[in-house]
Amino acid sequence: MPKREIFVEKFKAKLDGWSAELDRLESKSDAIDFKNRARYRATIQEVKGQIQQLDKKLMVLKNTTTDAWQDLKKRTELAWNEFESGGKEALKKVTGNNY
């Protein structure tokens, strides 16, 4: 399997993992007191939006030419690292758990 396909599959698996975790957290939002529920849900929606943006980057990366692949791969990895640290911090603030 070419490197690009391996990278795309691994990246997609990471995004799917985050999406599943957010869905799990969202399903628990009704149990949160009313005062904090809106902030909790807003944070989850914000992180979901970031995942959607990363998924778009992944689709561009998947369909790019061979020449542009390495540059886009680096930019996608940087975007992922920023998302992951920010997403973890955002979820920690609302859930109190480390991710």
Per-residue model confidence as pLDDT tens digits over 24-65: 988 988 888 888 888 889 999 999 999 999 999 899 888 888
* pTM value > 0.85: no
Q: How confident is the model at residue 70 (pLDDT cuts 50, 70, 90)?
A: confident
Please name the residues in contact with 44: beta carbons below 8 A apart, sequence gap of 6 or more: 22, 25, 26, 29, 91, 94
What residues make up the domain containing 19?
3-95
CATH of residue 65? 1.20.120
Number of independent structural domains in the chain: 1
| pLDDT above 90: residue 12 | yes
Positive or negative, the Cα torsion across 74, 23, 32, 49?
A: positive
